[in-house]
Amino acid sequence: MSSNKEIAVRVLDAVGGKENVNSVVHCATRLRFKLKDEHKADTARLNQDDDVIQVVQSGGQYQVVIGSHVSDVYRELNGVANFDGEADSKGDKGNLLNQLVDIISSIFTPFLGAMAGAGVLKGFLTLAVTLNWLAADSGVYTVLYAIADGLFTYLPVMLAFTAAKKFRTNEFLAVSLAMALVHPDITALAGQTLSFLGLPVIIGASAYTSSVIPIILAVFLQSYVERFFKKVIPSFLQIICVPLAVFLIMAPLTFIVVGPLGTILGNLLGSAYDSIYHFSPLIAGAVMGGLWQVFVMFGMHWGFVPIIMLNLSQTGVDTMVPMLLPAVLSQGGAALAVFFMTKNVKLKGLALSSTITSIFGITEPTVYGVTLPLKKPFIAACISGALGGAFIGFSQVENYTFGLVSLLSLPSFIPQDTKDLSGLIAASIGTAIAFGAAFVLTFFLRFEDQPATDASVAPAKEPAAPTESSSKERVILSSPLEGKVVPLAEVKDQVFSSGALGKGIAIEPTVGALYAPADGTITTLFPTGHAVGLTTTDGAEVLMHIGMDTVELDGKGFEVFVKQDDQVKRGDLLVKFDLDTIKAAGLSTITPIVVTNTPQYLDVMDMNQTDVLQGEDFLAIVK
């Protein structure tokens, strides 16, 4: 395995270099890039890197899954490129959902590890008191509880710092606002109303300790207030006058408007979740247990983090985390089954290590390295997660502290006041159901094993002559375009639609750029740039014809980046073309991609996609 610095250098180069990065953060297992142009990233190269588990393009982020040592790689990445949160934030922000996901992940990710550690410690302290291992008034309990509970009590302070970095405003001014919200004089007035120059200041029943939304909204507004005063105050006065102006504006604004508004929004969000949960805890558990890993894959899981935090801050209990535990452990059960079933030594080792990491709440290596590539184990894990989640939902298990969802979460299901173990027992049963069902179901569904790659598993005797089915190999082409997939039969050109030129598929592009679908040589290049022929290193002859009858444009709107006989790599830019120019001429932009030497192969198959991103697996050529 390469050093963390070597990994960082390769990843940075593959995503297009520092100049292509708007921002980068990391979570438990992945680097989350916001790139200026995702087409400049070499996704194929990253996916082939032994130190990269997978690349995920979701939620407006370009996510490079590294594994549990991602923080070390991120540190080296900062050392190489000196990002440290200073990357340019301009560029394509995506839709509103993508922006919200990006904001939430950027704010919570930096201290997720500390929050998970504190939550697990708090749960184990409760278990220790319940089993009479520790006395609640002992010095050991008091000291450890202070660190376990302190982070959650003063959560607004942590959120203020990370939100300030996200919104690019002064972190220490933001932290000062948060400290005001949790100041003892303010918390002592919980449930009361003050007067500020005749205006009412409403302090909620629980004040603002452990709150989430108020401080995030306050820091967001602070970023605008601070920028305004930096424009109007002379530079030689800014060091004192800007902070003073921010305090004088933001302190009353936060307590009079933002704080109560944030509390109202939090209550509405909490009430909406409660309504759904109480409609049917069993259905809620089945849905969350079955789909949680799907949410994680698309980055949507960050949208649930504020709900969990709100549940805990408003009522002291949360019902969502227990329902997620089966989803996490079921991936481990499926991976363990793969360990026993596969003949591939490398996959066997990855499956065993992934089983262990999933027990501790890290599922990305399991999902992207084992269950998802094999497909059926992932399906088995999702079904089993739904079963375990339904049982836990039906049992109405409650969680009393935040932490990374893992087997270590179980003690956090014990209430501190009653020391009732029923929640822990029900959660343990539900988790065991999910783990065991995933293990058994993976054996039942089976999967297409990867070929053995180690000499130790080679047969000792002379192998029999291969049959047609056993000798099949596949060459995978990546999509040269981004757009909507169109069956070749629907192309309004008889030569292409009839398959006379070969099997393939067509794309109606949404971005005017054509890229190499594989490593190879440019063997056909029309001067007009409207058609490119590539012979891959595997011998496949691929013709890409941009639009229909676009030869009539005589090269207008086309910019060619390669020459005849050029050697190209998968993902290299071949041609840029102006979609508006083609449409203005009344021509179709639908682009057929066909394998012209199809008769030399057993089959050329598409992958049943409706929309495709450039660089995604697109066509499979069966030898």
Q: What pLDDT is recorded for position 463?
A: 38
Alpha helix locations (H) across 233-258?
A: 238-253
Helix (H) or strand (E) holding 445: helix 422-445
The pairing of strands 611-612 and 483-486 is antiparallel
Q: What pLDDT is recorded for position 468?
A: 39
CA distance 224 to 169: 8
For helices 376-395 and 281-297, give the axis angle rounded to 10 degrees. Answer: 140
How far lies 556's CA from each of 483, 511, 578, 582, in Å? 22, 17, 9, 9
Whether the predicted pLDDT of 128 surpasses 50: yes
Tens digits of per-residue pLDDT, 236-274? 888 889 999 999 999 999 999 888 888 787 777 777 878
Tens digits of per-residue pLDDT, 553-596? 888 999 999 998 899 999 999 999 999 999 988 899 999 999 98
Tens digits of per-residue pLDDT, 18-32? 889 888 887 656 788
Q: Which amino acid is at 242?
A: V
Catalytic residues: 27
Q: What is the DSSP letter of 517?
A: S
Tens digits of per-residue pLDDT, 507-516? 999 999 999 9
CA distance 452 to 377: 19
CA distance 84 to 570: 31
Whether the predicted pLDDT of 604 surpasses 80: yes
CA distance 528 to 508: 20
Q: End-to-end distance of the chain based on CA atoms, in angstroms?
A: 32
Mean pLDDT for 452-466 is 40
Is 272 or 543 the better-scoring residue by pLDDT? 543
- Among 296, 471, 473, 429, CA closest to 371: 296
Is 361 or 11 the better-scoring residue by pLDDT? 11
φ and ψ at residue 30, rounded to 5 degrees:
-135, 150
CA distance 561 to 578: 14
- Among 369, 387, 282, 295, CA closest to 332: 369
Is there a contact between 545 and 592 (Cβ–Cβ < 8 Å)? yes
Is 552 or 222 the better-scoring residue by pLDDT? 222
Whether the predicted pLDDT of 465 surpasses 50: no
Candidate from 17-21, 205-209, 396-400, 601-605 with smallest mean pLDDT = 205-209
Q: What is the DSSP letter of 93?
A: -
CATH class name, domain 4-81: alpha beta
CATH class name, domain 474-622: mainly beta
CB atoms within 10 A of CB 614: 25
Residues 6 or more apart in contact with residue 403 via CB below 8 angstroms: 115, 116, 117, 118, 119, 120, 122, 123, 321, 409, 412
Whether the predicted pLDDT of 205 surpasses 70: no
Burial letters for 86-108: b for 16+ Cβ neighbours within 10 Å, e otherwise?
ebeeebeeeeeebeebbbbbbbb
Q: What pLDDT is recorded for position 267?
A: 73
Provide the token pair at 292: 């949680």
Q: What pLDDT is recorded for position 405?
A: 83
Distance of CA 127 to the CA centre of its chain: 33
Q: Do domains 4-81 and 474-622 have the same CATH topology?
A: no
Helix (H) or strand (E) holding 491: none
How far lies 457's CA from each of 342, 448, 452, 479, in Å? 11, 17, 7, 35
Q: Where are the domains of the chain?
A: 4-81, 97-111+138-274, 280-445, 474-622
Whether the predicted pLDDT of 453 surpasses 50: no
Q: What pLDDT is recorded for position 299?
A: 59
Sign of the dihedral through C-alpha 356, 362, 363, 364? negative
Provide the token pair at 250: 């933001």
Q: What pLDDT is recorded for position 91?
A: 45
Residues 6 or more apart in contact with residue 330 via CB below 8 angstroms: 289, 380, 381, 382, 384, 385, 388, 434, 435, 437, 438
CA distance 60 to 62: 7
Q: What pLDDT is recorded for position 98?
A: 64
Q: Which amino acid is at 141?
A: Y
pLDDT averaged over every residue in the chain: 83
Whether the predicted pLDDT of 538 surpasses 90: no
pLDDT band of 86, cuts 50, 70, 90: very low
Hey, which of 41-50, 112-121, 413-422, 534-543 has the most confident mean pLDDT? 534-543
Is there a contact between 171 and 249 (Cβ–Cβ < 8 Å)? no
Q: What pLDDT is recorded for position 97?
A: 61
Is there a contact between 576 and 481 (Cβ–Cβ < 8 Å)? no
Candidate from 1-15, 83-97, 221-235 with smallest mean pLDDT = 83-97
Is there a contact between 72 and 26 (Cβ–Cβ < 8 Å)? no
Q: What pLDDT is recorded for position 39?
A: 87
Is 113 or 405 the better-scoring residue by pLDDT? 405
The pLDDT > 70 percentage for the chain reads 90
CA distance 189 to 309: 22
User: Strand order in 503-509's β-sheet?
Assistant: 567-568, 520-525, 531-536, 541-545, 591-595, 503-509, 483-486, 611-612
Alpha helix locations (H) across 474-610?
A: 494-497, 579-584
Tens digits of per-residue pLDDT, 267-323? 777 778 788 888 999 999 999 999 888 887 665 676 677 788 777 877 788 899 899
Provide the token pair at 239: 């060091």
Helix, strand and coil percent figures for the chain, each rounded to 5: 55, 15, 30
Q: CA-based angle 381:384:388, to the nearest 5?
A: 130
How would you class 137 by CB atoms within 10 Å of its CB: exposed for 0-12, middle for 13-18, buried for 19 or more? Answer: exposed
Q: What is the DSSP letter of 318?
A: B
Tens digits of per-residue pLDDT, 161-191? 999 988 889 999 999 999 999 899 888 888 7
